[in-house]
């Protein structure tokens, strides 16, 4: 915390310098006056003791408050203290008065700011990410929608995130991201006195899931999906056949299938990259068993819009759908197959991880090709230089998986030795 005689010329030079951290400069002319300079600009503060405790009182932004005015405001606070007034209480009253004066300023309402942020920031994101952010924002707006965004305090945001965390750690972390982005947007456009969301951390530590289904669990789930029927049972079986994300599976339309009937032309996906997903015989059979709802209609639909057009399955409906339609069929399916019921919890995304593991472990597909089946992004120089057509390799990989899936459903053991075992055998042979 360096001391400095603050002058207009010196401040202008310091503010113009690029910075990554904030530094407090204390005025040598007026004791306690402080100019904080950071990456976003500079603000005046006055440091004083109130009831024996050191307090930092914000005076205003440097761009709107000159040196003389800042020193004068610091002097006013000293006079208030001498007269028995409590400066922090005075600032609280000033904030309350400002909030009251903005009651009719609808542009500053959280719901309005949320709409502006959505319109300007979500368009470039992947559809699945957009949907996640919209859900998080909707919950935040339901809580604070009619509040002036400048009136919210950090404690309110933290308590709200704690409430979301009690329901879902994943949702809480996603909501924290949205809150940080929303307040960063609002601070730049509505001259907020402070950003209460700055440096708010994600409420929960995110651990990567490693759950994969074994061969018997795949058999049970496949049969449970057959018992559950259309649309959720069909959609899950199609996800098992292709290894694609459940949100992308739920959105597949008849117009997305190419003229040969062999490829699903997938453009609306998380990665934002066009990919042609090969359809092996079981995947085609699932689609052929779906009702024909229209030439451009989705294959999987559980509802219609206002005009009567079929809606695709939304990714946010799956928790409820699994509980209502799939879970009740799991035990009957296990009993029918004379297998132990599935004991560990699973999610639709675990099916994608299961397919990826099976491609390499059971089907002998190279890791590179298996990653391309799942449309995962390449990294490093390969992303820049490797633009080969991998569709034949992906098609062969999914044909192998189709054959292996048929064997799994018949109760057969793996026909390919896992890669780790093969390496171990080679070392022992040498």
Q: Residue 321: which pLDDT band, with cuts at 50, 70 and 90?
A: very high
Give the pLDDT score at 387: 67
Helix and strand numbers (H, E) in the chain are 18, 9
353 sits in which H/E element:
helix 348-361
Smallest CA-to-CA distance from 145 within 184, 177, 114 is with 114
Give the pLDDT score at 1: 67
Cα dihedral 373, 237, 129, 147, rounded to 10, equals: -170
Q: Residue 70: which pLDDT band, with cuts at 50, 70 and 90?
A: very high
Residue 98 has pLDDT above 70, yes or no: no
Cα dihedral 241, 316, 224, 354, rounded to 10, equals: 40
Tens of pLDDT, residue by residue over 353-385, are: 999 999 999 999 999 899 989 887 666 666 656
> Rounded distance, CA 159 to CA 169, Å?
14
Q: Classify burial at 324, counting beta carbons within 10 Å of its beta carbon; exposed 0-12, middle 13-18, buried 19 or more.
A: exposed
Residues of the chain above pLDDT 70, percent: 87
Give the pLDDT score at 420: 46
Q: Residue 52: which pLDDT band, with cuts at 50, 70 and 90?
A: confident
The pTM (predicted TM-score) of the whole model is 0.60
Per the CB < 8 A criterion, the answer to whether 316 and 131 are in contact is yes
Give the pLDDT score at 378: 64
CATH of the domain spanning 3-101, picked from 3.20.20.70, 3.30.413.10, 2.20.25.90, 3.30.160.390? 3.30.160.390
Residues of the chain above pLDDT 90, percent: 53
Per the CB < 8 A criterion, the answer to whether 71 and 46 are in contact is no
Give the pLDDT score at 426: 42
Q: In the structure encoding, which two tokens stand for residue 420, read together?
A: 């780790």
Q: In the structure encoding, which two tokens stand for residue 324, read together?
A: 């209502």
Strand-pairing partners, residue 54, are 49
Radius of gyration of the chain (CA): 30
Strand-pairing partners, residue 42, are 37
**Beta strands at 41-50 and 53-61: parallel, antiparallel or unpaired:** antiparallel
Give the pLDDT score at 25: 92
Q: In the structure encoding, which two tokens stand for residue 200, read together?
A: 């708010």
Give the pLDDT score at 382: 60
Which range, 11-15, 63-67, 330-334, is most confident? 330-334
Residue 430 has pLDDT above 70, yes or no: no
Give the pLDDT score at 40: 82
Residue labelled with tokens 């879970």: 327
Q: What is the mean pLDDT of residues 282-305?
A: 93
Q: What is the mean pLDDT of residues 128-132?
A: 82
Residue 91 has pLDDT above 70, yes or no: no
Give the list of residues 6+ apart from residue 412 with CB closer than 8 angstroms, or none: none
Architecture of domain 215-429: Orthogonal Bundle (1.10)
Residue 427 has pLDDT above 50, yes or no: no
Strand order in the sheet with 23-27: 3-4, 23-27, 33-38, 41-50, 53-61
Other Cβ atoms within 10 Å of 135 Cβ, number: 17
- Residue 7 backbone dihedrals phi, psi, to 5 degrees: -130, 160
Tell me the pLDDT of the chain averaged across its residues.
86
Per the CB < 8 A criterion, the answer to whether 38 and 23 are in contact is yes
Tens of pLDDT, residue by residue over 199-249, are: 888 888 877 788 999 999 999 999 999 999 999 999 999 999 999 999 899
Domains of the chain, by residue range, sit at: 3-101, 106-190, 215-429
Per the CB < 8 A criterion, the answer to whether 248 and 126 are in contact is no
Chain centroid to CA 328 = 30
Give the pLDDT score at 388: 67
Smallest CA-to-CA distance from 54 within 28, 99, 24, 83 is with 24
Give the pLDDT score at 89: 59
229 sits in which H/E element:
none
Give the pLDDT score at 319: 85
Residue 405 has pLDDT above 50, yes or no: yes
Q: What is the mean pLDDT of residues 334-349?
A: 95
- Residue 348 backbone dihedrals phi, psi, to 5 degrees: -55, -35
> Rounded distance, CA 213 to CA 215, Å?
7
DSSP 8-state assignment for residue 194: -
Q: Collapse the DSSP code of 295 into the 3-class scheme (helix H, G, I; strand E, B; otherwise coil) and give the result.
A: coil
Residue 269 has pLDDT above 80, yes or no: no
Q: Residue 404: which pLDDT band, with cuts at 50, 70 and 90?
A: very high
Tens of pLDDT, residue by residue over 406-423, are: 999 999 888 654 544 444
Residue 333 has pLDDT above 70, yes or no: yes
Smallest CA-to-CA distance from 25 within 40, 49, 39, 7 is with 7
Question: Class assignment of domain 106-190?
Answer: mainly alpha
């Amino acid at each position: 915390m360096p001391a400095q005689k603050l002058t207009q010329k010196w401040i202008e030079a310091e503010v113009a310098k690029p910075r990554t951290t904030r530094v407090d400069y204390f005025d040598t002319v007026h004791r306690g006056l402080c100019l904080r300079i950071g990456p976003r600009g500079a603000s005046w503060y006055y440091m004083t003791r109130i009831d024996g405790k050191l307090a930092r009182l914000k005076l205003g932004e440097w761009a709107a408050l000159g040196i003389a005015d800042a020193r004068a405001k610091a002097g006013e606070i000293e006079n208030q203290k001498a007269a028995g007034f409590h400066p922090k209480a005075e600032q609280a009253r000033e904030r309350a008065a400002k909030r009251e004066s903005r009651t009719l300023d609808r542009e500053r309402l959280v719901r309005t700011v949320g709409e502006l942020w959505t319109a300007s920031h979500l368009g470039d994101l992947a559809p699945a990410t957009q949907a996640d952010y919209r859900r998080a924002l909707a919950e935040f707006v339901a809580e604070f929608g009619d509040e002036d965004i400048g009136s919210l305090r950090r404690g309110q945001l933290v308590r709200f995130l704690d409430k979301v965390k009690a329901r879902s750690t994943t949702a809480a972390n996603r909501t924290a991201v949205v809150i940080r982005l929303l307040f960063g947007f609002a601070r730049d456009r509505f001259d907020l006195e402070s950003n209460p969301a700055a440096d708010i951390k994600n409420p929960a530590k995110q651990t990567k899931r490693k759950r994969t289904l074994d061969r018997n669990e795949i058999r049970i789930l496949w049969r449970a999906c057959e018992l559950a029927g259309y649309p959720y049972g069909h959609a899950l079986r199609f996800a098992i056949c292709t290894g694609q994300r459940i949100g992308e599976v739920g959105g597949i339309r008849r117009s997305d299938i190419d003229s040969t009937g062999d490829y699903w032309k997938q453009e609306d996906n998380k990665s934002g990259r066009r990919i042609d997903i090969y359809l092996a015989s079981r995947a085609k059979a699932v689609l052929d068993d779906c009702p024909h709802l229209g030439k451009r209609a989705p294959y999987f639909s559980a509802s219609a819009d206002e005009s009567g057009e079929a809606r695709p399955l939304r990714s946010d409906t799956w928790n409820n759908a699994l509980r209502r339609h799939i879970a009740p069929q799991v035990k009957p399916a296990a009993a029918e197959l004379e297998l132990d019921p599935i004991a560990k919890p699973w999610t639709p995304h675990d099916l994608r991880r299961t397919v990826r593991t099976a491609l390499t472990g059971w089907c002998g597909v190279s890791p590179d090709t298996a990653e391309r089946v799942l449309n995962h992004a390449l990294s490093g120089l390969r992303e820049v230089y490797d633009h080969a057509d991998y569709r034949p390799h992906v098609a062969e990989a999914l044909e192998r998986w189709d054959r292996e899936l048929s064997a799994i459903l018949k109760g057969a053991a793996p026909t390919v030795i896992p890669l780790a075992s093969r390496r171990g055998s080679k070392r022992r042979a040498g």
